[in-house]
């Protein structure tokens, strides 16, 4: 298994609240070790979005940086 498969497998059966908690913990702790996992979750989400949703996400990112 590669890291993508491990992260996605670990998240697959989590509730929305558990996933939100994972994300919030990663943001709060500012741990660089969490960055690959966050990137993999972002990649998985991005791949399932349509162009309008991708435009919205990129707008949110632009506003946030």
At residue 1, the pLDDT reads 74
At residue 40, the pLDDT reads 94
At residue 15, the pLDDT reads 96
At residue 6, the pLDDT reads 93
CA distances from 10 to 33, 55, 58, 64 (A): 16, 28, 26, 28
Q: What is the mean pLDDT of each run of 10 residues along the chain (65 residues)?
A: 90 94 89 87 97 98 96
What whole-number distance in Å separates Cα of residue 49 and Cα of residue 56?
Answer: 10
Number of H helices, E strands in the chain: 4, 0
């Amino acid at each position: 298994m590669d890291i993508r498969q491990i992260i996605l497998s670990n998240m697959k059966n989590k509730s929305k609240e558990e996933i939100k908690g994972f994300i919030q913990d990663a943001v709060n702790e500012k741990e660089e070790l969490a960055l690959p996992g966050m990137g993999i979750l972002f990649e998985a989400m991005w791949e399932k979005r349509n162009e309008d949703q991708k435009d919205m996400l990129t707008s949110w990112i632009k506003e946030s940086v």
